[in-house]
Amino acid sequence: MFPRSYLFLLAFLPLAAPAQDVPIPKPGTGTGPAANPEARVPVRLDALTLEPEIRSKIDAFFAVLKQRKVPDAYRRLLEGSTLAEENPELVKKLEESTVRVLELTGRIEGTEILRIRAAGKSIREVTYVLNGEKRPLRWKFYFYLSGGHWQVLDTNVATEAAGFFDDTK
67-96 pLDDT, tens digit each: 999 999 999 999 999 988 899 999 999 999
**Measured between alpha carbons, how far is 116 from 154 in angstroms, rounded to an integer?**
15
pLDDT at site 149: 94
Identify whether the C-beta of residue 38 lies closer than 8 Å to the C-beta of residue 51: no
114-154 tens-digit pLDDT: 999 999 999 999 999 999 999 999 999 999 999 999 999 99
| Max Cα distance, the chain (Å) | 81
Percentage of the chain lying above the pLDDT 70 cut: 69
Q: Is 47 helix (H, G, I), strand (E, B) or coil?
A: coil
**Measured between alpha carbons, how far is 129 from 140 in angstroms, rounded to an integer?**
9
Taking domain 47-164, whether its CATH number is 3.10.450.630 is answered by yes
Identify whether the C-beta of residue 61 lies closer than 8 Å to the C-beta of residue 76: yes
Question: DSSP H helical segments within the chain, as ranges?
Answer: 4-11, 52-66, 70-77, 83-86, 88-105
pTM of the model: 0.69
**Measured between alpha carbons, how far is 136 from 29 in angstroms, rounded to an integer?**
30
